[in-house]
């Protein structure tokens, strides 16, 4: 592949409902979108950085800066790639900024798979044509609203319910959902809102038969998670703390988690995600694919990744309409029997809707490489 052009768009899409977590509430989804062109074909990647430094320190603005001012010159000076897995080494001079790098790598994977005329999952070694869908339920104003939301999602066919929790919204909502739906696969995600001083509360959560407790403690911590893991029967899953294959290796060596949530953006790209997958298979650690309220571009990437054999738990990959009335990619993802079908067309298998992209774009720029 000889890269010819790089484009960067910032888009903003209204969410169908506000999404509240322990770190805040979002009413719209902002995303930088990257396109790379080679041999007359265009590949797309989405950056999962947030509107502010809440989930991680990267933001849509740091990603725009790093892609425009630092990744672009590295692409310009190299231009030719035989395979997308060569990109991480080319970007190694830039420390950190994994979400910015991952977006560009995703565009290169889409481009590569389109040029090979194969759906991406086949090039990754995927083994499924549909992936089990779970749903992440934001913090609600009250318990009746929560029960109504969960009931609606279960009626749609979602196979696992994940409740976002925070101090003051934890034991009661989990108890209410567990009492009303005794057999549902249920988990909780704290987005790092607790400390070891909250051990009494975290022990109470142990009584609800949770599939896992996701990222209860500090976003960078491994040692305290290892300590907590020894106190709880519920498996700990790490999200924010696993920013690379290196960190995954450390977490497993320390006993900090029994399950890993993989997000290609958070770990710095698809190649790094594949390395975590190989490690997890070797160690018998179950994986699932997390979600960042992606548009169809990032959602498609997650679906392809989730077809790998080590991804054995239901994912935070939901139907498009769970988040958006209108997406910038077509066709929308729809739930079928609790699963999302894997796009079978070349590359990501979704197409940009230029009309909707240009209507939702707040900024864009194109460079010749």
Write out the catalytic residue numbers: 164, 263
Q: Which is nearer to Mg ion, 214 or 327 (CB)?
A: 214
Q: How far is the CB of 146 from Mg ion (least distance, A)?
A: 18
Q: How far is the CB of 93 from Mg ion (least distance, A)?
A: 30
Cα end-to-end span (Å), the chain: 13
Q: Which does 50 bind (CB under 5 to 8 A by kind): ligand NPQ, Mg ion, none?
A: ligand NPQ
Does 189 contact Mg ion by CB under 5 A? yes
Q: Which is nearer to Mg ion, 24 or 332 (CB)?
A: 24
Does 239 contact Mg ion by CB under 5 A? yes
Q: Which is nearer to Mg ion, 193 or 308 (CB)?
A: 193
Q: Which does 294 bind (CB under 5 to 8 A by kind): Mg ion, ligand NPQ, none?
A: none
DSSP secondary structure string for all residues of 3-66: EEEEEEEEEEEEEEEEEEETTEEEEEEEEEEEEEEETTEEEEEE---BSSSSSSS-BHHHHHHH
- The residues binding ligand NPQ (CB under 6 A) are 19, 21, 26, 29, 50, 55, 136, 189, 191, 239, 290-293, 316
Cβ proximity of 133 and 69 under 8 Å: no
Q: How far is the CB of 43 from Mg ion (least distance, A)?
A: 27
Q: How far is the CB of 191 from Mg ion (least distance, A)?
A: 6
145 burial class (0-12, 13-18, 19+ CB within 10 angstroms)?
Answer: exposed
Residues 18-37 that bind Mg ion (CB under 5 A): none
Q: Which is nearer to ligand NPQ, 114 or 339 (CB)?
A: 339
DSSP secondary structure string for all residues of 310-368: TB-S-BS---GGGT-SS-SEESPP--BTTEEEPP-SSBTS-EE-HHHHHHHEEEEEEEE
In angstroms, the CA 106 to CA 55 distance is: 21
Does 294 contact Mg ion by CB under 5 A? no
Q: Which does 44 bind (CB under 5 to 8 A by kind): Mg ion, ligand NPQ, none?
A: none
What's the half-sphere exposure (Cβ side, CA atoms, 13 Å) at 86?
10
Q: How far is the CB of 239 from Mg ion (least distance, A)?
A: 4
Closest CA to 30 of 54, 18, 48, 17: 48
Does 275 contact Mg ion by CB under 5 A? no
Q: Which does 310 bind (CB under 5 to 8 A by kind): Mg ion, ligand NPQ, none?
A: none
In angstroms, the CA 183 to CA 194 distance is: 27
Number of separate helices (H) and strands (E) present in the chain: 13, 15
Q: Which does 110 bind (CB under 5 to 8 A by kind): Mg ion, ligand NPQ, none?
A: none
Q: Which is nearer to Mg ion, 46 or 110 (CB)?
A: 46
What's the half-sphere exposure (Cβ side, CA atoms, 13 Å) at 280?
28
Q: Which is nearer to Mg ion, 26 or 239 (CB)?
A: 239
Does 316 contact Mg ion by CB under 5 A? no
Closest-by-Cβ residue to ligand NPQ is 136
Q: How far is the CB of 164 from Mg ion (least distance, A)?
A: 8
Cβ proximity of 254 and 228 under 8 Å: no
In angstroms, the CA 66 to CA 218 distance is: 26
The contact set with Mg ion (CB under 5 A) reads 189, 214, 239
């Amino acid at each position: 592949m000889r890269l010819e052009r790089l484009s960067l768009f910032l888009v903003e899409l209204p969410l169908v409902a506000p999404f509240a977590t322990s770190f805040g509430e979002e009413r719209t989804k902002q995303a930088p979108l990257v396109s790379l062109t080679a041999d007359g074909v265009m590949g797309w990647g989405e950056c999962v950085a947030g509107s502010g430094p809440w989930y991680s320190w990267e933001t849509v603005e740091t990603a725009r800066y790093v892609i425009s001012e630092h990744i672009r010159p590295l692409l310009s000076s190299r231009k030719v790639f035989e395979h997308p897995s060569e990109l991480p080494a080319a970007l190694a001079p830039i420390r950190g900024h994994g979400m910015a790098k991952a977006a560009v790598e995703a565009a290169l994977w889409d481009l590569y798979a389109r040029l090979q005329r194969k759906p991406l999952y086949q090039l990754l070694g995927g083994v499924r044509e549909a992936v089990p869908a779970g749903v992440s339920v934001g913090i609600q104003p009250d318990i009746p609203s929560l029960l109504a939301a969960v009931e609606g999602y279960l009626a749609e066919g979602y196979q696992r319910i994940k409740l976002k929790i925070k101090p003051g919204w934890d034991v009661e909502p989990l108890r209410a959902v567990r009492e009303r739906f005794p057999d549902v696969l249920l988990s909780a995600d704290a987005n790092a809102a607790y400390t070891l001083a909250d051990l009494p509360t975290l022990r109470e959560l142990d009584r609800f038969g949770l599939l896992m407790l996701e990222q209860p403690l500090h976003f960078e911590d491994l040692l305290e998670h290892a300590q907590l893991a020894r106190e709880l029967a519920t498996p700990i899953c790490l999200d924010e703390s696993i920013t690379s294959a290196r960190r995954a290796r450390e977490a497993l060596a320390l006993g900090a988690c029994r399950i890993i949530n993989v997000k290609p953006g958070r770990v710095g790209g698809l190649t790094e995600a594949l390395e975590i997958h190989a490690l997890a298979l070797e160690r018998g650690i179950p994986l699932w694919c997390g979600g960042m309220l992606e548009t169809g571009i990032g959602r498609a990437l997650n679906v392809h990744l989730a077809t790998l054999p080590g991804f054995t738990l239901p994912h935070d990959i939901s139907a498009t309409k769970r988040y958006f009335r209108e997406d910038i990619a077509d066709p929308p993802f729809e739930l079928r029997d609790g699963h999302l079908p894997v796009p079978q067309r070349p590359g990501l298998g979704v197409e940009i809707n230029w009309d909707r992209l240009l209507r939702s774009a707040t900024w864009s720029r194109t460079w010749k490489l």
